[in-house]
Each structure stands twice: as C-alpha cells, then as structure tokens.
Amino acid sequence: MNNIASTDTLRYDGKVVVVTGAGGGLGKAYALFFASRGASVVVNDLGGSFKGEGNSTRAADVVVEEIKKAGGKAVPNYDSVEFGDRIIETAVKAFGTVHILINNAGILRDVAFRNMKDADWDLIQNVHVKGTYKCTKAAWPIFRRQKYGRIINTASAAGLFGTFGQTNYSAAKLSVVAFSEVLAKEGAKYNILVNAIAPIAASRMTETVMPAEVLATLGPEWVVPLVAVLVHDSNTQESGGIYEVGAGTVSKIRWERSKGALYKTDASLTPSAISQKWAVVHDFSNPDHPTGPADFMGLLEAAGEMPSNEQGENISFKDKVVLVTGAGAGYATISLGRAYSLLFAKLGASVVVNDVMNPDTTVAEIRKAGGKAVGDKHSVEDGEAVIETCVKAFGTVHIIINNAGILRDKSFAAMTDEQWDQVMGVHLNGTYKVTKAAWPIFLKQKYGRVVNTTSTSGIYGNFGQANYATAKLAILGFSRALAREGVKYNILVNTIAPNAGTAMTRTIMPEAMVQAFKPEYVAPLVVFLSSDNVSSPGTGGLYEVGSGWVGCTRWQRSGGHGFPVDVPLTPEAVHAAWEKITTFSDGRSDNPESTQDGLKNVMKNLQNRKSGGKAKSGVNKEILESIEKAKKLEAAGTAYEFDDKEVILYNLSLGAKKSDLKWVYEGNENFEALPTFGVVPYFGSELPFTFDEIVPNFNPMMLLHGEQFLEIKKFPIPTSGTLTSYPSLVEVADKGAAAVVVTRCETRDSKGDVVFVNESTTFIRGSGGFGGSSKVTDRGAATAANKPPARKPDAVVEEKTSEDQAALYRLNGDRNPLHIDPEFSKVGGFKIPILHGLCFLGIAGKHIYQTFGAFKNLKVRFAGVVLPGQTLRTEMWKEGNRVIFQVTVVETGKPAIQAAAAELLGPGPKL
C-alpha cells in the first residue's frame, strides 16, 4: 500500500465505477460514496426482493437521483448480473470505459438441505457465481487493454465457515474467493487487482437471518471504507486477499496448513495407518501459511525413506454400500476413483462404480478379486439416476465419494461461457445433485458419510483455471454447510484436496509426475474418512493429501483493527491502520471455524467508543434530559373491552382446533384464554412519550422488536371485561450505532388489580451515539440469558402453521400491512406476508402449557422470520420450576425464538 499523506483525501476523479446490486443496502452505500468522491457510477439493480423475485427500475433510479441531486454523475442499469455484458456496456456508452467493478449483487434462498429444491440451488449459483463471472468477464478485456482494473468480489461468513440452512449460499460465497485468487494471479501483469471481502452489514438479506441485537449495530458505512482503500490508486500490490469487515472491525484472512503427517508409500499405507497419526495431521503447533500446494515431489522422496507404517484398529466396510463417482479405469488404469473403489471393495464394501465413459473395467477388477460391484454410466448431473442404481443393486447407500471431474483450462481472457458452464456443471452441480439424491436415505437410516473433492487450485488459485478453481472451492463451502446440517443425523462430511497423477491431471502434469503421484497414496485417507473410526467431531474438515502426506488446512485471521463505533469510519483511517489490519505476526491472530467465531471481533468492538461509553457534557443533552423526563411520565390508560369472542379469536389465531372446546366454545365448563393472551390488551395502548423524543434520528423502518417478557399477575385470566393498560418507559441504552428502548406496560382490571405485565425491548438502528449508558439493567427473568442445557430436550412439539395464520392473527389488533398485503411485504423483502412475532410466541407458549402446565411468566428473544405455512419446532428443557425453550423453523433450520424461558405456576388455580 503506497504511502499517502495523512491529510490527503482519497479521490476517484476520472474513474468509472460499476456497482451491482446498488439499489439499497451495501451497494447503495458504495454508489453514493464513490460519486461523492468524484467517480462516475453505474448503479445496477434488478429491483427484486432479497430472494431474487420481481424486478423494478425504481431501486436504481432513486440512488441515481440522489447522486445527481448532490452534484454527482451516475446512470442506472436494470439488468440481472447474469447479463453482465449489458451492465458493462452501460458504463462504456455513458462514460467511455470502466475502471472499478464491485460485484455486490446477491440474494438468499435459505432452506434446510433436506427441503432444498433445485430452483433454490440454481438461482443462488446463477446470481452469485455466474453473475460475478459474467460481469467480470465483460470488464476484463477493457481492464487488460487499459492496463488498469480494480475488482471487489463479495464473499461472506457463510462461505468461509459454512452455515446451517445455507448450503447453496455457502457454496456460492466461498467460490468467489477462489475466483478472486485466480484473477489476482492472471491480472497482475496488467495492473488488475482483485480482492474478496466478507462483509457483515445490515441489508435486506441479513435482516432475515441475523440476531436483532447484532443487526442493530451494523451498517454498510462500516464496509465501504475498506473497499475504497482496496480500489484506490494508492493500492498497487494488495491483490488476492480476503478481508473480513463490519461494525468497525477490519481483518485479513489467509490459509493455514498443519505440517501434517508423513507415511511410508508402500503396502503399509492403509486407512488403519492413517488413524495412527491422526493427531499429527491436526497438529498446528508449527504451521505453514502457503499460497500454493505443498512440495509433493519432496514429500514423496521423504516418504520413501520412512519406516513401514504402524497399523491401528482394523477398519471394515462389511454391509456398507459405497458410491464412487468418476471411478473408471482412466488413463492406463491411473484413476483416483478406481483406487478408491478397489480399496473399499477390498475392505468388504459393496461398490457402485460410476463413470460416464467406462465403469466396467473397474467393476471387473473388483469382481475378479472376489468383491461386489456394479457399474453406473449416468452423468453426476443426473444424481437421482446415480443413486437409483445404488438402491436397485444393494438396497441403499451409506457412503458417497464425489470424485467425478473434468478440466477445461484456459486463461480467463480466452475462456468461453461453455467452458465455464461445463466445469461448474460436473464439479459443483454434480456434487450437489448426487448428494441431494442420497440425503433422504441418509436421514432415514441416520447414517451417511460424504467425502467431497476440492483442489489446491481452488484453495490457492491457479493461473488458467478460473472455472475449475471456482467450482472446487464452492464444493468446500457446500461441504462445510452440509457438515453442520448432517452431524445430528450421524452424517459426516469432509473435503479433500488430492494430488495425484490421473487422466485429468495428465493434461497439465509432466508424465513423470503422473506416474510418480499414485492415486493409491490418496485412497487410504478417503477410506479412513468414510469409516466409523474417525475421532469426534470427524466432520467439516479440509485435508490436503498426496505422496504419502496428509495435512489439515484451516483459516487464520489477523488481529485486525477495531475502529470506534461512535466515530464515522473513513477510507483514510483504514489506510492509516493498514499495517495493523494485515499483520499476522503480532500474537493477536486466531483461527475462526464458524460464523460465531467470525462475529467474535465484531461483538468485541461493539463497545469500542471514543467517548468510552460515557456521556459527554453537552453531547445530546436534550435527548438525555428527554429520556429522564419520559421515565417519569404516567400514561392516561388505554381501555380494552372484550368478551368470549375476542378470547376465541385469539385462541384460533394460535392454532386452536374445533375439537379444542375449552379454547373455542364459550359454553364449555373449562373455557379459558391461552396464557399468552396477556400480550393482546396492551398492544394498542398509548405511550406517554414519542420515540423521536427519546432517541436521535428516529426512523420507524429501523425499528426491530427484539425481546418480549410477559408476566401473568392474576389468576384465573378473565375471559371478558374491561382491562386498562398503562405503558411507561423503563430505560434507553446507547449501543453506539443503535438505541435499545425498553418499555413496560401494566394492564389492570376494573378493580385496579394488575392482571398482566409486558416488557418489550426494541432495537432502533441509527439512533445511538447520544451519550447514554450502554448497559441494559438486569431485570431478572425479563433479561435472563436462558441458555439451553447441554442435553437432549425433555420435550419437543412440532406444529405446522396455517397459510392463513397471519391474516387471522392480525385481527387481535395488529393491523400492520406487512402481515397481510403481499405488495407491502415484497417492499420489505418478503415473498409473502410474514407471521407476527407475538403469534409464534403464543404458539410456543401453548406448547409449554400443553406439556408442562400453567406458567406465571414467559420471556423470549425474537431471532428470525416465520412465514405462514411453515412448521415450528419448540424444544423444551425443564430446569426446576423453569422451562427453557427455543423455537426453530423446521423447513429452514433457522431459529425463530432463542434465549427463552417460562416460570411454571405449579399447583394452584387454573388459568
């Protein structure tokens, strides 16, 4: 990074910037920033929802209008990124060229793998992977010709670590890391720099999956400065990097590889021998930080000098059915798939040998040796047919080795769309299709093993293999996400990067290496990973293997730098801290393995404030005084008149059936309201203050309902009468980038007795930084963390919501069109109107009541969105007089309620 004076402002005068997905969120922030610093901007946005549905020119037009109003230069483009040539053509027609490309467009289709449809998979790959390729491919000749180009590709924590319910997205997002690494190598001689970022920012996409408390502190403005530095002229060498950025933190990520274990390359190199040095494979006490594959020729020579390998416990595959794709004999019988198949059969497995050309030779070898095997000639892109062969021949499948592959190597400049699509189809889509077809079988038998194949070209990037590298690293992202979904069903998923001479690698390796790097030196690891002998957790690993050597590869993250969250971040500040951001040798680096680890630095930095979290004299004094004044205000009281009709309506809106007479028939002797009815009377109560009085910059669109606490103070719960609610302000916490507002509402009956108490915690993004305390007062059960015990739930209840549930629940008093009007919900980024959080709170409360009896209070944290028609799973743990619980959406595997508990009433009056 070139030195610039600390007083210099990074400018982009004369530069043309293309930003995809720039109609909102992070893309809009990029567009506005670059225009404000002198660039001409192409604002691309299809105008659809975050799920990729619909389109509208309005999103791009609004941003362009804002730029022009501020005196900047911009034009809109409304094409999908799948038509990247049109987007780049817009830049050339409007401004003559393009200098900077920010591939930002994205969508989500989150769904558990068991429920994923091909359309969910294909759409994500088309937008994130093919779209990034198409836009870059169109700009590449321009960059080469002018000997200048800057590209930012957008990865994510889901790609780096794998996330439950996001196998499609995780695959796509990790793929762009490899794509960036390859292009960085190919573009270096033309002054084309390419980097990948993993941003953590609030957007239409992240609002559906991130916890409200974290979401409230995030904003795109924390991501833009890093990108601005990476694409500026002062950057002349930072290329091929991976950066994690968000909430004031910036760090760099690189690969870290263990020294690994070396084995003698003779007949004693067996799966059992691999197990004996498994701890050595995972020993990172003296790691490497490579930018390419290991020295396999040197390793092969060293392996030849080793003593024979010590054997461990016997490994058998008796009664196991193994599918190996791409397992034909290959060139001169040199084939990884063949080596795998022969070894599995030798150890007792029934093997399905898949190969589109010739599985028969391998099958004949196995049968001649006394083993069991059948051939399959289907393409892996027809995964269902491949798995059908397994079932027809042997009744099931236990183990899948996704090994099939092709090469279509070309420089990126010369690569055709056909060559790109062919490689993606066989490697990535083939891996997906075969695994998807086997998944229901694995789930049913509660057993499965998957070994997927990546490549060092994917991990580190390799000149002339943009298609291959992208596909191969996408497979790693897919595998890591799948490992998280499969582990509870005893389905283990690992990934290998093999080095061997094969028919495929013969096109790029010298013949001597093809003969020396034997597939038999890789097969023992693959077979071991497929066994029941791998120590826990035994899933989600990445292993480089070949020449009698096995190493484990993981991420290393620099300690990075945290900027104060109450001070606007600038590119100049990022530039000044660059050495600290990119240094790995200062003892602060770590090795994140999950999205939770990925958020560690972000969470730590949330309280990093220049003001130290204390109010400064005279800073937002008006707001602070208004808060104290509002706390003392008393509400006039809002009356709620009701009878059995309102009670029955509420019960029906929580899924009560006509057979539940005590909930739907006023004449039943046990007629009652479900216990969470207490959230209804207070809903429309009039506050004695307004939000814009107690927080700065209040915007109702930035408001998120985070937590709810309900206490039932009087039993039995009345089924008719008049209740009056008196809301008040408890406190307002200053989280820097957001405000946390806690309100309390007492609901009294006609005698003046308190019947219900509700406490609501609301997060308001963009309304912090006023100098208040950052702490939220501990209020006992209302703020308890309620972490589930480390054991199986004591009770689990599943209930499918009705597709009409949102329409019904709103009649309790919530008339927000988000829950009924499809057009309004699409504006909010939702395909259909969503269920009110208090509705699925009530359903969970019903499950607790049915399972453990009446309760006197209940607290929840809302953690996700529920669509009408989805199935809710309430998991409950009884701890003394408390029931800790959580609610998950079955179809997506995503949480709906977390940190929740109910305190049981015990023996006493009925509700």
Residues carrying an active site annotation: 169, 173, 468
Cα dist. 74→31, 57, 65, 82, 695 in Å?
9, 15, 8, 22, 34
Strand locations in 429-490 (E) = 448-453
Identify which of 505, 330, 332, 518 has the alpha carbon closest to the alpha carbon of residue 407.
505
Distance between CA atoms of 399 and 321, rounded to whole angstroms? 6
SS3 call for 492: strand
* Torsion, Cα of 161, 163, 167, 170 (10° steps): -40
CA 840 remoteness from chain centre: 23
Interior angle at CA 19, CA 15 and CA 21, nearest 5: 170
Instruction: Report whether 553 contacts 281 (CB < 8 A).
Output: no
Distance between CA atoms of 505 and 406, rounded to whole angstroms? 9
State the DSSP code for 200.
-
Q: Is 42 exposed, middle or buried (0-12, 13-18, 19+ CB in 10 A)?
A: buried
CA 786 remoteness from chain centre: 24
* Torsion, Cα of 625, 628, 634, 639 (10° steps): 90
How do strand 895-904 and strand 882-889 relate by DSSP bridges?
antiparallel
**Can you read off the two tokens belonging to residue 715?**
């039993």
Distance between CA atoms of 124 and 691, rounded to whole angstroms? 39
How do strand 721-734 and strand 738-748 relate by DSSP bridges?
antiparallel
Distance between CA atoms of 347 and 254, rounded to whole angstroms? 38
Cα dist. 688→743, 749, 750 in Å?
11, 20, 21
Distance between CA atoms of 418 and 424, rounded to whole angstroms? 10
Instruction: Report whether 872 contacts 801 (CB < 8 A).
Output: yes
Helices (H) and strands (E) in the chain, counts: 32, 28
Q: Which residues contact 119 (CB under 8 A, 6 or more apart)?
A: none
Identify which of 239, 220, 222 has the alpha carbon closest to the alpha carbon of residue 230.
239
What are phi and psi for residue 254, nearest 5 degrees? -145, 170
- Residue located via tokens 């040197």: 298
**Can you read off the two tokens belonging to residue 795?**
């009770």
Type of residue found at 309? N
Type of residue found at 729? L
Q: Which residues contact 814 (CB under 8 A, 6 or more apart)?
A: 683, 836, 838
Ramachandran area for residue 383 (φ above 0: left; ψ -120 to 50: alpha; else beta): alpha
Identify which of 78, 80, 83, 82 has the alpha carbon closest to the alpha carbon of residue 42.
78
Ramachandran area for residue 627 (φ above 0: left; ψ -120 to 50: alpha; else beta): alpha
Distance between CA atoms of 607 and 619, rounded to whole angstroms? 18
Instruction: Report whether 329 contacts 503 (CB < 8 A).
Output: no
- Would you tell me the crossing angle of helices 58-69 and 25-36 to the nearest 10 degrees? 30
**Can you read off the two tokens belonging to residue 505?**
């690698």
Distance between CA atoms of 633 and 231, rounded to whole angstroms? 52
User: CA quadruple 680, 683, 688, 689: dihedral positive or negative?
Assistant: positive
Distance between CA atoms of 292 and 302, rounded to whole angstroms? 20
